[in-house]
Amino acid sequence: MTNSYTYFTALRETISKLPCAEIDRVVDLLADTFDRGRAVYVFGNGGSAALASHFACDLAKGTINGNPKRFRVLALTDNIPLMTAWANDSSYEDIFAEQLKNFVRPRDIALAISGSGNSPNVLKALTVARSAGATTVGLTGFRGGKMKSLCDHCVVIPCDNMQMIEDLHVAAAHALFTCLCHRLHERAAICA
């Protein structure tokens, strides 16, 4: 029988196996991207789309606190008319890739979120980002899926349970944000 204790016990065991060193490397990348005035593009489907919007909000708003310099971040999940236009007129696989083609530049970050690591539209966007010279970052689960080989840095939640993967994607995004804010605060006292 599965109960909440069983779930949280398994979640705690997964937390003990998180790739914290890789998460810290992504913090370094985000700090460098901020320093250089480069952009971050975040995208994913379903719960990952919700997290993409949430993470973009955290970076765009949460890193200000009086600092005139702003994080250049865009969640490709937030323009519903544009996503549905690409899906209808071209293919659902194009909804992120075609948006990236308008904006992505060398040394920007394309941050893909996919529990399975195998979403075709996410993979296509990562390919576009790499072709443009952007740094590709993944947040995934299971064993990384096809996404892992397309990412310069990939945080793989070592778990086969999608709900736990999604729980820990949120935790990883909050860890990225918190560590980044701490780093920026040390330099300029901008995050609370």
The 10s digit of each residue's pLDDT in 120-176 is 999 999 999 999 999 999 999 999 999 999 999 999 999 999 999 999 999 999 999
Number of structural domains in the chain = 1
Cα–Cα distances in angstroms (integers) from residue 79 to residues 83, 95, 119, in the given order: 6, 10, 19
For residue 190, is pLDDT > 60? no
Nearest by Cα to 140 from 18, 13, 25, 31: 18
For residue 1, is pLDDT > 70? no
For the residues 1-20, what does the mean pLDDT come to? Answer: 94
Better-scored residue on pLDDT, 179 or 188: 179
Structural domain boundaries enclosing 22: 4-188
According to DSSP, residue 77 is labeled T
Locus of tokens 């250049």: 72
Q: How confident is the model at residue 188 (pLDDT cuts 50, 70, 90)?
A: low
Nearest by Cα to 192 from 70, 56, 62, 69: 62
Question: How far, in Å, CA of 52 to CA of 185, rounded?
Answer: 23
Question: How far, in Å, CA of 22 to CA of 110, rounded?
Answer: 16
Nearest by Cα to 137 from 2, 27, 21: 27
For residue 14, is pLDDT > 80? yes
Across all residues in the chain, what is the average pLDDT?
94
For the residues 7-11, what does the mean pLDDT come to? Answer: 96
Element (H, E) at 73: strand 72-75
Please classify residue 111 by burial: count the beta carbons closer than 10 Å to its beta carbon, then call 0-12 exposed, 13-18 middle and 19+ buried. buried
Query: 125 — phi, psi (to 5°)?
Result: -65, -40
CB 133 within 8 A of CB 107: yes
**pLDDT at 69 (0 to 100):** 84
Q: What is the CATH number of the domain that holds 165?
A: 3.40.50.10490
For residue 104, is pLDDT > 90? yes
For the residues 24-52, what does the mean pLDDT come to? Answer: 97
For the residues 63-83, what does the mean pLDDT come to? Answer: 90
**pLDDT at 189 (0 to 100):** 53
For residue 51, is pLDDT > 80? yes
Angle at 18 between CA 14 and CA 19, to 5 degrees: 155
Q: How confident is the model at residue 192 (pLDDT cuts 50, 70, 90)?
A: very low
Query: 44 — phi, psi (to 5°)?
Result: 175, 175
Locus of tokens 């945080």: 155
Tokens of 141: 């689960």
